[in-house]
Structure 1
């Protein structure tokens, strides 16, 4: 065989070898995740298209100890080989996970997704979890409470899930003078955790529901979260203000822009997506 014919074959062989190595490396990376089989203890509606999901991890204390800070998340996968693992923020605070041996989630059922299949399962069905991941909300950046009297919290849709964890884990809201949660949803039927609002407010969090498509009886804030905040009278001191954001990317970008323009340091704006 001539040299001119050998070169294309060598290139093809080199390409196939590199592809084989890449697939092998990908398989190795995938295998590094430690999966634990755990049963579901609750699958109940939380709001329209949203579900409360609780998973029993009482037999696996290492899972509980991997969760140390509000805002962390994990991977969950089903036994169905046609589905991919999905990432979910943990809604229960670390203290509840440690004492009751459960992970709680707020899951939006999206057609054709792993989340939709998860929301269709029942108590006793088994799923597989990874350990908790991520750094969570770095509340130390807006502490102590005496130095950061204003904390502005923004959440949209299922983004309220890690915010619930933050509020119920406690971050000194009762020792701050102005803690506001701007919580956006399409309407009240799409707004989860309303049954928790009274407890959240008693802990020092002022809740501002914002509905983008309310019915005619709604007398509260209308439109989008970022617009509601932009309309609000802002009398806080930028140096003593922090913020926590979780939800739609556009909301986060626009709220961040308003906060920075008001003089709030970007280092004091905590984000989770």
Structure 2
């Protein structure tokens, strides 16, 4: 019998060999056994490690305090987090988000926090603008009632890094772009305050299909009094609409008036096509990509 050992100590027998009743040397058997045990040990460690990663999310139960229509297909949802001070403290910047787990829903939903961080500290609540999509976790959330309990993950993301467009005296122009439910973290940004009164030109281009789909209209007056000029843009308005029509990026192109791109910043949230096209327009006009803020 010819015995060949591979580098991994596997055994190869000559095809015409006759098996001998003599056992293999003990040193070889010990090495084979050790390799087998190490292999199974590594597999167990990998399985445990994967399970730990999968289960690393900390879920906090919290009751709903409000579920009300905010616009067509959009709902204003408020969740009481007053019993979760660590969760409240983790919300430090507009544009952050978390996961919401709803009973009987197959998977969690990622939602941007619509309320400014100071509201959670003052009232113990997180507010969201939720788009109800048929068959989704968001739809299940919007169907719940006051007092129903959901579960919240830790707050995630870096949010909008406003320090990149500070000080306001140096970056006097800030263009803000939002479409649909993308206005949710923009509300948090505006109501958190980023020295809009000290900037010369802060404009919000807010796109929706029509006025019935446009949330937060009741807040426009307060936003404008803080120094934000609001430019609603409707893609499918009725005949009575006299404002901007079409898409946000087209409305901005018609009246962009970038006087000094080096002192211009931007904040974007919404449809991928919009954010990509607006970014291309701004960069082509000399605005630094580092001054174009997104929350994802």
TM-score, with length taken from structure 1: 0.91
Matched position secondary structure for 1:27:
helix
Q: C-alpha separation between the residues in 1 aligned to 2:58 and 2:158?
A: 19
Q: Which residue does 1:64 correspond to in 2?
A: 88
1:194 to 214, 217, 221: 217
Q: C-alpha separation between the residues in 2 aligned to 1:251 and 1:112?
A: 26
Q: Is 2:101 aligned against 1:117?
A: no
- Kindly state the Cα deviation for residue 23 of structure 1 after the two structures are TM-superposed: 5.9
1:45 to 65, 69, 85: 69
Q: C-alpha separation between the residues in 1 aligned to 2:293 and 2:49?
A: 34
Q: Is 2:182 aligned against 1:159?
A: yes
Q: C-alpha separation between the residues in 2 aligned to 1:253 and 1:18?
A: 44
Q: Deviations over 1:197-216 (max 9, x none)?
A: 00000000000000000000
2:97 to 45, 61, 73: 73
Q: Deviations over 1:27-84 (max 9, x none)?
A: 322211110100000000000000000000111111100000000001110122x520
CA pair 21-226 structure 1, distance change in 2 beyond 3 A: farther
Q: Which residue does 1:183 correspond to in 2?
A: 206
Q: C-alpha separation between the residues in 2 aligned to 1:250 and 1:99?
A: 37
Q: Is 2:59 aligned against 1:35?
A: yes
Q: C-alpha separation between the residues in 2 aligned to 1:84 and 1:111?
A: 14
Q: Structure 1 unaligned runs (5+)?
A: 5-15
Q: C-alpha separation between the residues in 2 aligned to 1:38 and 1:108?
A: 20
Contact 2:169–2:199, Cα closer than 8 Å, also in 1: yes
Q: C-alpha separation between the residues in 1 aligned to 2:102 and 2:50?
A: 20
CA pair 31-221 structure 1, distance change in 2 beyond 3 A: same
Q: C-alpha separation between the residues in 2 aligned to 1:254 and 1:52?
A: 29
Q: Is 2:119 aligned against 1:96?
A: yes
Deviates more, 1:189-198 or 1:225-234: 225-234
Matched position secondary structure for 2:176:
strand
Q: Is 2:140 aligned against 1:134?
A: no
Q: C-alpha separation between the residues in 2 aligned to 1:107 and 1:50?
A: 5
Q: C-alpha separation between the residues in 2 aligned to 1:178 and 1:227?
A: 19
Equivalences, count: 261
Larger Cα-atom Rg: 2
Q: C-alpha separation between the residues in 1 aligned to 2:12 and 2:134?
A: 55
Q: Which residue does 1:12 correspond to in 2?
A: none
Q: C-alpha separation between the residues in 1 aligned to 2:44 and 2:210?
A: 51
2:79 to 52, 55, 60: 55
Q: Which residue does 2:31 correspond to in 1?
A: none
RMSD: 1.9
CA pair 22-76 structure 1, distance change in 2 beyond 3 A: farther
CA pair 117-17 structure 1, distance change in 2 beyond 3 A: farther
Matched position secondary structure for 2:186:
helix
- Kindly state the Cα deviation for residue 25 of structure 1 after the two structures are TM-superposed: 4.1
- Kindly state the Cα deviation for residue 231 of structure 1 after the two structures are TM-superposed: 1.1
Q: Which residue does 1:263 correspond to in 2?
A: 286
Q: C-alpha separation between the residues in 2 aligned to 1:233 and 1:67?
A: 33
